[in-house]
Structure 1
Amino acid sequence: MKELVGELVTLCMMAFALGMDAFSIGLGMGFFRLRVKQMFHIGFTIGLFHVLMPMLGMFVGRLLSEQFGAIATYVGGGLLLILGLQMIVTSLKRESDPLISPVGIGLVFFALSVSLDSFSVGLSLGIYGARTLLTILLFGFFSMVLTWLGLLLGSRFQRWLGIYGELLGGSILLVFGLKLMIPFG
């Protein structure tokens, strides 16, 4: 029993840490003018990807080496860089619609970019034989809730910041993408 509680606490801490990535992305995406229904779909989709990607990672992790995790991190960072730059350019050119927005395929890109790090974690956990169902459910729950929190806070800041809010949101995504691509300490 003590071993199960220890594993649960460890997995919750990992899920929270991965969810903070989703929170950061949600904060940046919250600068888009979104309705509550859209925020719900975004959080749910990111939560779903945080279930699917680590599950896939855990299965692949049982078959492949850990080196693939670095590639997933770089791909995620690259996607965030592109999305952040696109958001910054869009905020400076108000006359055009964004190339990618957090709906439809744009939402899939957002969810994929933020969940790639959970794929990497899933690879490692797959190698160590963590409890698959418990792990993926915790990852999905924490990322979904923290995404909603980030979206709500981002939308509040967007109202205060006006047109500069989208610029700030793009900057957040850009910095986060750089953080993934360039490991700091």
Structure 2
Amino acid sequence: MSAYQIGEIVSLIFMAVALGMDAFSVSLGMGMQKVRLKRIAMVGGVVGLFHIMMPFAGILLGQAISEQIGQYATLSGGLLLFGIGAQMIFSAFNHESKQLAQPVGIGLIFFAISVSLDSFSVGLSLGLSEVKTVIALLLFGAASTILTWIGMLLGKKMHGLLGVYSEILGGSILCGFGLHILFG
């Protein structure tokens, strides 16, 4: 494996963790509700599945767009990643209380969609570049599943201490990758 391939995989791992931070921070709050371990396992699995489906749809759309915009694809992808990261950072400072949906039935689907929407946009920007799709999707799904589980389990132990900071960290990582694509 070449140094370039290793660097690409490491970058994808950091990006996967950054995308999973949103699920982690929301899961902290959800974990403070009385949630059984079986439900925690299911919630993490569904969130992971959506973190595979949403960026896959974004990658497909991004690849279709990249054929149309050609030379502007890299610039668009970098700007999109930076914008998503900045939005995550700014939303962390939004102090309005959020009503958490119960992680059951349709509430679980809405929860999974809400924490995976940013992964659609990241998938779109990755589709504009030439990323290894299967590796990216598996890393996104695994990271979000694990971070959701960790968030819910920690939420059972502590009360909202890390929520905002994890979202800021995730947003900062995405901003950094966007700047790296633009200027690196």
How far does residue 64 in structure 1 lie from its aligned partner after superposition?
3.5
Gap regions ≥5 residues in structure 1: 88-99, 159-167
Within a 5 Å distance, the mapping from 1:128-167 to structure 2 comes to 128-157=129-158
Residue by residue over 1:22-68, the C-alpha shift from the partner in whole angstroms, topping out at 9 and shown as x without a partner, is 1111112112210000000000110111111111110011124759x
Residue of structure 1 equivalent to 2:126: 125
TM-score of the superposed pair, with normalisation by structure 1:
0.69
Distance 2:50 2:157 in 1: 25
Within a 5 Å distance, the mapping from 1:1-185 to structure 2 comes to 1-2=1-2, 3-64=4-65, 85-87=98-100, 100-157=101-158
Distance 1:85 1:150 in 2: 17
Root-mean-square deviation (CA, aligned residues, Å) is: 3.4
Residue by residue over 1:73-113, the C-alpha shift from the partner in whole angstroms, topping out at 9 and shown as x without a partner, is 68xx99xx9xx5334xxxxxxxxxxxx31111101111000
Distance 1:85 1:119 in 2: 22
Gap regions ≥5 residues in structure 2: 67-75, 176-184
Shift >3 Å, 4+ stretches: 64-67
Distance 2:27 2:132 in 1: 28
Aligned-pair identity (%)? 47
Count of matched residue pairs: 152
Distance 1:58 1:33 in 2: 37
How far does residue 156 in structure 1 lie from its aligned partner after superposition?
1.6
